[in-house]
Structure 1
Amino acid sequence: MKASVIISTYNSPDWLEKVLWGYSVQTEDDFEIVIADDGSTKETNQILTSIKAKTQLSIIHVWHKDEGFQKTRILNKAILASNTDYCIFTDGDCIPRKDFVETHLKFRSKNYFLSGGHFPLSKNLSKLISKNNILSQECFDLKWLKNKGLKASFKNTKLAKSKSVALFMNFITPTRPTWNGGNASAWKKDILAINGFDERMKYGGEDREFGERLVNNGIQPLKVRYLAIIVHLEHERGYVNDEAWKINNEIREQTRKEKKVKTSYGINLHA
């Protein structure tokens, strides 16, 4: 297979099901899915069993016991469980447009990682989107979204149907390319070279720190912000806390100051 799509999730089976329907209609089908499950209950496994029976998706379920927010740990385990040389990272609340995997494969390049973004939806819109809206790709159509309550915004240009407009916007956007956990990809060998994610880090910039170590190791970011499209389903974030942000910021500062490449708290812990 050409790629491993690593999807993080935690006790959001309804959202994850919508996401997986998005992967069932990809224009590129030569990929596997690795679910990085941070301790969900049995409902998530039931959804995965159901989706496997209804689609041709190849799904690997990597799970560990719930011990609080341990996304970095489960991502490292998912990386080790992957079977290809290219990893696309996203979250279980991000529905991919049908050309999402194709786009990441098209723009992958030696010594680069790809940096994408997301298109945020309101809670109401997130709930409204159905399986049929995903299979028909209506949930990426601006006219359909506006009819369902999407407000006018310059950000709506992310869903432009014109490839030339998307390429132009991607070129001129001032947004700095960083590693964004919901939409980014890299060669597996480059991920292993920096020892994966730093497992000391909880929620708050843990993905950015990972990207900063890639850059320190000579792997540069390439923007696909207006090309690799996902819509983000809104939800509560009960795992956010100030103490985690403080610790993460200290780790990131050390990474920048010392130009660190490898963490001592990464994939090696599972070797």
Structure 2
Amino acid sequence: MSSISVIISTYNQPNQLDLVLAGYVCQKFSGFELIIADDGSDKRTLDVIKAFRKNHDLPITHVWQEDDGFQKTKILNKAILKAKSDYLIFTDGDCIPRDDFVATHFSLKKPNCALSGGYFKLNKKVSSCIDKSLIYSQECFEKNWLISQGQEKSFKMTKLSRSAGYAKTLNMVTTTKATFDGMNVSCWLKDILAVNGFDERMAYGGEDREVGERMVNNSIKFIQIRYSAICLHLYHDRPYKNDSFIKQNQAIRSLTRKNKIIQTPFGIVKG
């Protein structure tokens, strides 16, 4: 049995997924499994996964559903049921984990809590420069390398520090609220099952935050680790962004908060 299940959502980004998987090969922590939550990708994604299985011993499960528009919540619920561990990390197929990513989530996990991690967003130019050699060497996580390739200098680069003490201090003083951000969050399997997983009515825009709000309604505390658990977010367009769906999602979230809803009837178990 794996110590942690890492659930990676993806849709037709095989090149980016290939880089993300390279990041998991580099992990200092062992004993975890990968679950690819695939929202209808074509054969190119399957080819990436087949090549990974051929070249690496890290357990990887491919959970796929037919392409029917943005149905990320549905595939994530299916992926949750495939988990072989009692603790889950949720992330995306465009987020390359630093080599201490899984170890950080594992070491900081606590009962009745979820961990809200961070990410460093790369611009389009720098994203195009990333290759596996830079991931294996971890050079792409170095501030000086990023700046040399055209990444803008900003305070957000403090996320790239490897000082555990510095990260802990920043986690304590940040004004950013700890939430369920699907790019980098972890929780106990039993806690997400208790709220019946993701609400499958929801398309893009806050669908991950909503499941976290129901977990909070069920007395789960979110802990801020945005400066401790780090991944690089590769640049991409968002053609699935739709204002009407975002408005619908906001209405669902409003009811969740107002009525202190814990379980959605539109989740893993229907009705």
- The aligned amino acid for 2:236 is H
Match of 2:109?
108
Deviations 1:101-154 (A, max 9, x none): 000001110010001121000111111001000000011011111111111101
- The aligned amino acid for 1:83 is K
Using the size of structure 1 for normalisation, the TM-score is: 0.98
Match of 1:246?
247
- The aligned amino acid for 1:91 is D
Match of 1:15?
16
The CA distance in 2 between the partners of 1:117 and 1:2, in whole Å, is 22
Which has the larger displacement, 13-22 or 46-55?
A: 46-55
The CA distance in 1 between the partners of 2:74 and 2:234, in whole Å, is 23
- The aligned amino acid for 1:99 is D
Match of 2:215?
214
C-alpha RMSD of matched pairs (Å): 1.0
- The aligned amino acid for 1:165 is Y
Contact 2:11 2:38 in 1 (8 A): yes
Q: CA deviation at 1:10?
A: 0.0
Q: CA deviation at 1:54?
A: 1.3
Runs of 4+ with deviation above 3 angstroms: none
The CA distance in 1 between the partners of 2:190 and 2:171, in whole Å, is 27
Q: CA deviation at 1:161?
A: 2.5
How many residue pairs get aligned? The number is 270
1:268 aligns with 2:241: no
Secondary structure of 1:82's counterpart equals coil
Structure 2, gaps ≥5 residues long = none
1:138 aligns with 2:139: yes
Deviations 1:19-41 (A, max 9, x none): 00000010101100000000000
Contact 1:24 1:56 in 2 (8 A): no
Q: CA deviation at 1:7?
A: 0.1
Match of 1:203?
204
Q: CA deviation at 1:269?
A: 3.8
Contact 2:117 2:225 in 1 (8 A): yes
- The aligned amino acid for 2:115 is L
Match of 1:153?
154
Deviations 1:206-262 (A, max 9, x none): 011000000000101001100000000010100001110111011001101100000
The CA distance in 2 between the partners of 1:184 and 1:44, in whole Å, is 23
The CA distance in 1 between the partners of 2:133 and 2:227, in whole Å, is 24
Q: CA deviation at 1:44?
A: 0.1
- The aligned amino acid for 2:104 is T
Contact 2:118 2:228 in 1 (8 A): no
Structure 1, gaps ≥5 residues long = none
1:70 aligns with 2:65: no
Match of 1:83?
84
The CA distance in 1 between the partners of 2:34 and 2:238, in whole Å, is 24
Give the fraction of aligned pairs with identical amino acids, expressed as a percent. Answer: 53
Secondary structure of 2:81's counterpart equals helix
Using the size of structure 2 for normalisation, the TM-score is: 0.98
